[in-house]
């Protein structure tokens, strides 16, 4: 698990640690960590136009330095690189400059110029192999002002490798919100703890590869606000079989999905549940959907139902909603599953129904809701673009107001439950944005709920494996030297189902 803390907690931890540390020690640790990552990039040839092995000596490094301590970190890191032979130029952008940092840079042979000298700044940025973004860190508020915004734009257009100091300037540390211009980094070197905005889009999309430098804040930080699960966590959360297992003990999810008109969603959801490791999947729907599911998944136990599920047989958890329609039949079936004391996942059309019948969510057993931004907007009475722009805020609000575990799908999937840190899913690819792929996710999570996972563990494990299956399906076998992201090709929801077993194998491999 990777832990992220909001700015207030970072500041409190910083104060506690500073009281026990020599003057300037934290900034020196941060700068040393930053310089070390930059040196590694210059040595490996990943930075700018430098060839492998050319290293720090003779490289051209530009520091974008704002008025605060973020600028101070960048200046001290620049001084360390200058002492190793880099040609370092600081572009001073703030209303003031960190004096100690600037003095260190100058005495190491680095030079500085004012951002008011646009020609000089642009020439330096264009010639740079590596740019350190020290404009703003956790003290940044709102969209970048000038000259910061213009400098961020020049940096983004340069061929240099961009290393963000603590976080990319223009990204809100607590939320990942970006209002206007922001630096797009290749690498972010963050200090003491991860910041939530580095995990969640649009901020995550600006951060590149994130490296954490330990500056000793750990004992003073307290509980995280946001966490990023890793494979080892998911391996614990996704229920697996034991020697004593039989098909009933492994869990029996009941899928209530599809209708006379919509059949594909049901096929995808049942597929997700089967590949998710359910001992047996029960499926209940209108006749046409049942026929299609039986044809595609003969292993499912099906029932044709109208407005009652009394003939379906025993299940341990319900998945309700994909392709179900939103009329009276759908409402009756949803009311029945939500009236049980079993865990229930509500997705797709089911979410439209509960948006007008919120009372159905007043229950004691766990409920998982899996909306995309549009569905969550409807549940909260807001607009989808607001949800997309401020994902953490909206998912937390939904968990609170609806009394459920809420998984918000999209470019970063985030999962909230009252009283717990938000879990952010690290896997996935935009290739998953294809009809039916969300239905696969509902079945997968349903399998984990029926296997005994808690609501938040089932949701987080489902999102992780679904995202990984999407990536594996899109990137295909590793038969050539291109990295998986470059190999990605379009996929269908069915391809995602087929890749789920391979995704499981990566957990323990």
Ligand X SMILES: Nc1ncnc2c1ncn2[C@@H]1O[C@H](COP(=O)(O)OP(=O)(O)O)[C@@H](O)[C@H]1O
Question: Smallest distance from the beta carbon of 64 to K ion, in angstroms?
Answer: 8
User: CA 136, CA 237: separation in Å to the nearest integer?
Assistant: 38
343 touches ligand NPW (CB under 6 A) = no
From the list ligand X, ligand NPW, K ion, none, partner contacted by residue 191 (C-beta under 5 to 8 A by kind): ligand NPW
Cβ-proximal residues to 106 (8 Å cutoff; 6+ apart), any chain: 112
Residue 480 marked as a ligand binder: no
- Residues 357 and 327 sit within 8 Å (Cβ to Cβ): no
User: CA 151, CA 181: separation in Å to the nearest integer?
Assistant: 10
Question: Smallest distance from the beta carbon of 437 to ligand X, in angstroms?
Answer: 4
191 touches ligand NPW (CB under 6 A) = yes
Nearer CB in complex with ligand NPW: 141/243: 141
437 touches ligand X (CB under 6 A) = yes
239 touches ligand X (CB under 6 A) = no
Among 338, 348, 354, 460, binds ligand X (CB under 6 A): 348
Residue 299: Cβ within 10 Å count: 11
Q: Interface with K ion by CB under 5 A: which range of 127-135, 279-287, 299-307, 341-349?
A: 127-135
Nearer CB in complex with ligand X: 41/353: 353
Rounded to 10 degrees, the C-alpha dihedral 454/386/266/496 comes to: -80
- Residues 444 and 273 sit within 8 Å (Cβ to Cβ): yes
User: CA 47, CA 159: separation in Å to the nearest integer?
Assistant: 9
225-264 residues in contact with ligand NPW (CB under 6 A) are none
From the list ligand NPW, ligand X, K ion, none, partner contacted by residue 435 (C-beta under 5 to 8 A by kind): ligand X
Q: What's the per-residue H, E or C state across 76-115? A: HHHHHHHHCCCEEEEEECCCCCCHHHHHHHHHCCCEEEEC
Residue 411 marked as a ligand binder: yes
From the list ligand X, K ion, ligand NPW, none, partner contacted by residue 139 (C-beta under 5 to 8 A by kind): ligand NPW
> Integer distance in angstroms from the first to the last C-alpha of the chain?
18
73 touches ligand NPW (CB under 6 A) = yes
Cβ-proximal residues to 323 (8 Å cutoff; 6+ apart), any chain: 257, 258, 259, 262, 263, 264, 265, 266, 289, 348, 349, 439
435 touches ligand X (CB under 6 A) = yes
Question: Smallest distance from the beta carbon of 96 to ligand NPW, in angstroms?
Answer: 7
Residue 223 marked as a ligand binder: no
Residue 139 marked as a ligand binder: yes
Residue 439 marked as a ligand binder: yes
Among 166, 201, 349, 375, binds ligand NPW (CB under 6 A): 166
CA dihedral sign, ordered 495, 496, 497, 499: positive
- Residues 73 and 213 sit within 8 Å (Cβ to Cβ): no
Among 38, 63, 65, 70, binds ligand NPW (CB under 6 A): 70
Q: HSE (CB half, 13 Å, CA atoms) of 4? A: 28
Residue facing ligand NPW at closest CB distance: 137
Q: HSE (CB half, 13 Å, CA atoms) of 339? A: 10
Question: Smallest distance from the beta carbon of 140 to K ion, in angstroms?
Answer: 8
14 token code pair: 């910083």
Closest-CA residue to 87 (of 65, 64, 105, 69): 105
Q: Interface with ligand X by CB under 6 A: which range of 10-18, 121-129, 334-342, 423-431?
A: 423-431
Among 48, 55, 68, 272, binds ligand NPW (CB under 6 A): 68
Residue 260: Cβ within 10 Å count: 12
96-155 residues in contact with ligand NPW (CB under 6 A) are 136-145, 148
37 touches ligand NPW (CB under 6 A) = no
133 touches K ion (CB under 5 A) = yes
Among 14, 225, 375, 388, binds ligand NPW (CB under 6 A): 14
Question: Smallest distance from the beta carbon of 149 to ligand NPW, in angstroms?
Answer: 8
- Residues 230 and 2 sit within 8 Å (Cβ to Cβ): yes
Nearer CB in complex with ligand NPW: 219/298: 219
User: CA 192, CA 3: separation in Å to the nearest integer?
Assistant: 10
Question: Smallest distance from the beta carbon of 67 to K ion, in angstroms?
Answer: 12
User: CA 34, CA 27: separation in Å to the nearest integer?
Assistant: 10
Interaction mask 156-195, K ion, x per CB under 5 A: --------xx---x--------------------------
Closest-CA residue to 262 (of 349, 369, 373, 333): 349
Q: Interface with ligand NPW by CB under 6 A: which range of 9-17, 54-62, 260-268, 371-379?
A: 9-17
Question: Smallest distance from the beta carbon of 467 to ligand X, in angstroms?
Answer: 7
Q: What is the DSSP letter of 53?
A: T
66 token code pair: 């704002």
User: CA 477, CA 417: separation in Å to the nearest integer?
Assistant: 36
Tell me how many residues contact ligand X (CB under 6 A).
Answer: 18
Interaction mask 438-477, ligand X, x per CB under 6 A: xx-x------------------------x-----------
Among 411, 454, 492, 506, binds ligand X (CB under 6 A): 411
- Residues 398 and 406 sit within 8 Å (Cβ to Cβ): yes
Positions that interact with ligand X (CB under 6 A): 348, 372, 409-411, 413, 428-430, 432-433, 435-439, 441, 466
| Residues flagged as binding site for (6S)-NADPHX | 69-73, 137-143, 166, 265, 323, 372, 439
């Amino acid at each position: 698990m990777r832990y992220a803390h909001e700015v207030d907690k970072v500041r409190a931890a910083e104060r506690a640690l500073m009281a026990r540390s020599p003057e300037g020690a934290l900034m020196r640790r941060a700068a040393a960590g930053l310089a070390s990552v930059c040196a590694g990039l210059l040595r490996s040839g990943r930075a700018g136009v430098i060839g492998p092995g050319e290293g720090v000596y003779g490289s051209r490094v530009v520091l974008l330095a704002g008025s605060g301590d973020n600028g101070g970190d960048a200046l001290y890191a620049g001084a360390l690189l200058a002492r190793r032979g880099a040609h370092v130029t600081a572009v001073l952008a703030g209303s003031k400059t960190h004096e100690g940092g600037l003095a260190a840079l100058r005495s190491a042979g680095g030079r500085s110029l004012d951002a008011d000298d646009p020609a000089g700044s642009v020439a330096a940025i264009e010639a740079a192999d590596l740019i350190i973004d020290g404009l703003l860190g956790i003290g940044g508020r709102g969209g970048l002002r000038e000259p910061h915004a213009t400098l961020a734009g020049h940096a983004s257009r340069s061929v240099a490798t961009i290393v963000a100091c603590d976080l990319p300037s223009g990204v809100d540390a607590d939320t990942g919100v970006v209002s206007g211009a922001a630096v797009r980094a290749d690498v972010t070197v963050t200090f003491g703890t991860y910041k939530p905005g580095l995990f969640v889009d649009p901020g995550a999309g600006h951060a590149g590869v994130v490296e954490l430098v330990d500056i000793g804040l750990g004992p003073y930080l307290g509980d995280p606000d946001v966490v990023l699960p890793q494979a080892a966590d998911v391996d614990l959360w996704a229920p697996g079989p034991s020697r004593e297992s039989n098909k009933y003990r492994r869990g029996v999810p009941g899928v209530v999905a599809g209708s006379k008109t919509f059949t594909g969603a049901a096929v995808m959801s049942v597929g997700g549940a089967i590949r998710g490791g359910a001992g047996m999947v029960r499926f209940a729907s209108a006749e046409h959907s049942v026929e299609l599911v039986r044809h595609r998944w003969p292993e499912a136990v099906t029932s044709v139902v109208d407005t009652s599920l009394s003939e379906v047989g025993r299940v341990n958890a319900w998945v309700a909603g994909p392709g179900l329609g939103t009329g009276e039949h759908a409402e009756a079936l949803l009311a029945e599953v939500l009236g049980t004391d079993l865990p229930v996942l509500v997705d797709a059309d089911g979410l439209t129904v509960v948006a007008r019948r919120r009372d159905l969510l007043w229950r004691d057993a766990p409920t998982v809701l899996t909306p995309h931004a549009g569905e969550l907007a409807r549940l909260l009475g807001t607009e989808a673009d607001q949800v997309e722009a401020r994902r953490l805020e909206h998912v937390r609000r939904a968990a609170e107001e609806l009394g459920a575990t809420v998984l918000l799908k999209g470019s970063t999937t985030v999962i909230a439950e009252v009283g717990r840190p938000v879990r952010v899913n690290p896997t996935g690819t935009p290739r998953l944005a294809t009809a039916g792929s969300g239905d696969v996710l509902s079945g997968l999570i349903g399998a984990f709920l029926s296997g005994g996972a808690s609501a938040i563990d089932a949701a987080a494990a489902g999102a992780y494996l679904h995202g990984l299956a999407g990536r594996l399906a899109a990137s295909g076998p590793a038969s050539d030297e291109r990295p998986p992201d470059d190999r990605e090709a379009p996929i269908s929801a069915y391809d995602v189902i087929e890749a789920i077993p391979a995704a499981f194998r990566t957990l323990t491999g």
